Structure 1
Amino acid sequence: MSLKIKKDLKKIRKYIDKIDIQLLNLISQRARCAKKVAKIKISKDPKTKFYSPDREAQVLRNIIRNNKGPLSNEEISRLFREIMSACLALEFPIKVAYMGPVGTFTQKAVIKHFGKSVISIPVKDVFNTIENKKYNYGVVPLENSTEGIVNNTLDSFIYSKLKICGEVILPIHQNLMIGKKNINKNIEKIYSHQQSFAQCRNWLNNNYPIAKRILVSSNAEASKIVKTESKSAAIAGDIAASYYSLKIIAKNIEDRINNYTRFLILSDKDVGPTGDDKTLLMLSIKNKIGSFYLLIEPFYRYKIEILRIINRPAPETNGVWNYIFFIEIKGHRKSKLLEKILKEVDMRGAEIKILGSYPEQLIRENKSNEE
């Protein structure tokens, strides 16, 4: 290395050190401001919730608008989410319940949305846990781009009073992993959740056609089993490999490259409008000719974008078979236009339940960003 290059490197590194100190001071200043915000909130309401999904969405959108590179919007938003997560932990640690056990994709969704400073707690029933106010927020899976809707989540909304306050769209990578006892990588049994088996069906047929496939309740459970079992492997995400000290022997074995799962953030509070929101409605009407048309016609007439329509069987009453429709639309429930439409739908004899309005996820991360 020439003397000139050494001098140039020394000069740039000295400049970087100076910038790092400036960043440190600014982050510390932001953290002090966050503590002041906490004091103001507590003075107004001792039971206040410090995390504001609408405010966080506005902050991240502002950051993205002003990002001139060279770091991508994905990287910048991830960095700022972690800063906000750490600052929130100074105010009051956020406790988030998710469908356990540890090491699942749902836990990964918690970390992606709330940052690594959050306290994530695995539970059996997320809806019941949040309704009983044991924790602040909950995260549940809603749909997978390969395997479709998680029916149990939708059915839970029928009786729940919880509100949706956010969404997470997570790229799903499936990996084949083994424990330390499987030294020779001899695989006779493969454990996993049924959805993961379905997402990797072709890969398994081509690579392990003879291995016995054993269904378990979760990928984390599969990982726990193979940790101490020889001649076996598990299909799970990298977070499970980390938690259960497993070795990944084949990465990204899902059959479809664009494999995503969407998760919902649950709370007992509504979220204010951010200007770029979605609303999930639960609608039901007596099953007769033209009844479905009565439900959706006003949305089309007023040019409200319908993102998806899902139907589920309603709890049977008096031997009559009816359906409940889950309709996700663009816009916030507090907009005058949406209030007008819902009033019109109500007048047509429909039962309406607003499951929540929430900020649309800012960026769907590319697969390459997760690898």
Structure 2
Amino acid sequence: MPDDSQQAKPEKNEAQLLAELRDKIDNIDAQIGELISARAQCALDVATVKSSFSQEKMSTFYRPEREAQVLHRAMERNQGPLKNEEMGRLFRELMSACLALENPIRVAYLGPEGTFTQAAALKHFGHSAVTESMSAIDAVFREVASGAVHYGVVPVENSTEGVVTHTLDNFIDSNAKICGEVVLRIHQHLLVSDVTKLENITRIYSHSQSLAQCRKWLDEHYPNAERIAVSSNSEAAKRIKGEWNSAAIAGEIAANVYGLTSHSKNIEDRPDNSTRFLIIGRDDVGASGDDKTSIVVSTKNEPGALHNLLEPFHTYNVDLTRVETRPSASGTWNYVFFIDMYGHVSNENIASALSQIRERVADLKILGSYPIGVL
């Protein structure tokens, strides 16, 4: 007979194992809660210190370069199993909630409610930010310039349809500074309402860019439906609420806002379809260590003007990421160039290149140096 001490202990059953794991989760949750509260208190202490030494506006409490650094570190420390982007989003919302204890950031965006621009604003600032809908890109710039909001969010380019020229044109006369960027993966859905008769859809509403992004899908599935371009995808979503023979192309946020159903999902022609948005404010942004700089340049109307503009970038090894040309309002056949480059304006090579360029062009305006989008 074997000794009782050598007999194997009975294995734990499923209920016992799950109970132990849930107790472990509860203990971890308690620790997380305490640490979140401690972090929130530190954020309030930072606000108190800043307030006691400065009379500046609330917008200075939000530091784009500081938040980018925090997000980068959170993602670098991540050991899984969560993906880096998921970890970054958790910290994004935590910082948003902590900042809202002081005073929620107010952000103007190209509306109405439910647009991709609002989704970009929430992605960048977190859901504790207060988003305010504007009817036009011009209005977003005006709200920022007047101080009515802390920041604005405007679309600048789509990977399928190219630049948003209206945004670029607004920078020429505005004093707004670019404070950040956010890239949003664009998923387009065919939305229907509770009164839509699916077999009788004869018209499809959407913004002109969204219709273009889904052209092949529409040709295949609704070749005879009239495609009606409206001011925004949210406007399209609102229109179909009372029309039994219509559908809309818009994103998930519009479906949620207006109580619609996604009849067909991810109908964009290109799976990598994305839009880049710019964050605009009134203050310059310090270096984060992973930055871009944007400028607008008006060249002199003379032979070799483009070569004179681009040569210093090559000389000082500045990596350009985008060059766009727009007609100048100052005269026929005159042009302005919108240029994005890697690095901060405080970097020696960029400062040297811009100093040389300034001597060669009619006008040079630094739109801003800002952290490259983290999430």
In the alignment, which residue of structure 2 is the partner of 1:108? 119
**How many pairs align?**
360
Contact 1:41 1:48 in 2 (8 A): no
Does residue 1:70 correspond to 2:70, yes or no? no
In the alignment, which residue of structure 2 is the partner of 1:355? 367
Deviations 1:165-194 (CA, angstroms, capped at 9, x unpaired): 000000000000111111555311111111
Does residue 1:7 correspond to 2:45, yes or no? no
What are the equivalent positions in structure 2 for 1:48-87 lying under 5 Å apart?
Answer: 48-49=58-59, 50-87=61-98
SS in 1 for 2:200: coil
In the alignment, the residues of structure 2 paired with residue 174 and residue 306 of structure 1 have an alpha-carbon distance, to the nearest angstrom, of 31
* Counterpart amino acid of residue 336 in structure 2: I
SS in 1 for 2:17: helix
Residue 349 of structure 1, CA deviation: 3.6
Residue 34 of structure 1, CA deviation: 0.7
Contact 1:192 1:235 in 2 (8 A): yes
In the alignment, the residues of structure 2 paired with residue 337 and residue 303 of structure 1 have an alpha-carbon distance, to the nearest angstrom, of 7
Residue 135 of structure 1, CA deviation: 0.4
What are the equivalent positions in structure 2 for 1:203-214 lying under 5 Å apart?
Answer: 203-214=217-228
Structure 1 segments unaligned to the other structure (5+ residues): 364-371
Structure 2 segments unaligned to the other structure (5+ residues): 1-10
Does residue 1:148 correspond to 2:148, yes or no? no
Residue 283 of structure 1, CA deviation: 0.8
Paired residue for 2:335, among 286, 311, 323?
323
In the alignment, the residues of structure 2 paired with residue 171 and residue 358 of structure 1 have an alpha-carbon distance, to the nearest angstrom, of 21
Contact 1:178 1:185 in 2 (8 A): no
In the alignment, the residues of structure 1 paired with residue 359 and residue 293 of structure 2 have an alpha-carbon distance, to the nearest angstrom, of 20
Residue 107 of structure 1, CA deviation: 0.3
SS in 2 for 1:79: helix
Identity rate, percent: 52
In the alignment, which residue of structure 1 is the partner of 2:288? 274
Residue 216 of structure 1, CA deviation: 0.8
In the alignment, the residues of structure 2 paired with residue 346 and residue 135 of structure 1 have an alpha-carbon distance, to the nearest angstrom, of 32
SS in 1 for 2:278: strand
Contact 1:130 1:268 in 2 (8 A): yes
Residue 5 of structure 1, CA deviation: 2.1
* Counterpart amino acid of residue 269 in structure 1: D
SS in 1 for 2:255: helix
* Counterpart amino acid of residue 19 in structure 2: K
In the alignment, which residue of structure 1 is the partner of 2:142? 128
In the alignment, the residues of structure 1 paired with residue 17 and residue 199 of structure 2 have an alpha-carbon distance, to the nearest angstrom, of 49
CA gap 1:185/1:15 in 2 versus in 1, 3 angstroms: farther
Residue 160 of structure 1, CA deviation: 0.4
Paired residue for 1:36, among 42, 45, 61?
45
Contact 2:285 2:369 in 1 (8 A): yes
Paired residue for 1:229, among 224, 236, 243?
243
In the alignment, the residues of structure 1 paired with residue 242 and residue 296 of structure 2 have an alpha-carbon distance, to the nearest angstrom, of 45
Deviations 1:206-233 (CA, angstroms, capped at 9, x unpaired): 0001111111111100000001211110
Paired residue for 1:344, among 356, 360, 363?
356
TM-score by length of 1: 0.95
In the alignment, the residues of structure 2 paired with residue 35 and residue 117 of structure 1 have an alpha-carbon distance, to the nearest angstrom, of 16
| Structure of higher CA gyration radius | 2
Runs of 4+ in 1 over 4 A off after TM superposition: none
What are the equivalent positions in structure 2 for 1:85-104 lying under 5 Å apart?
Answer: 85-104=96-115
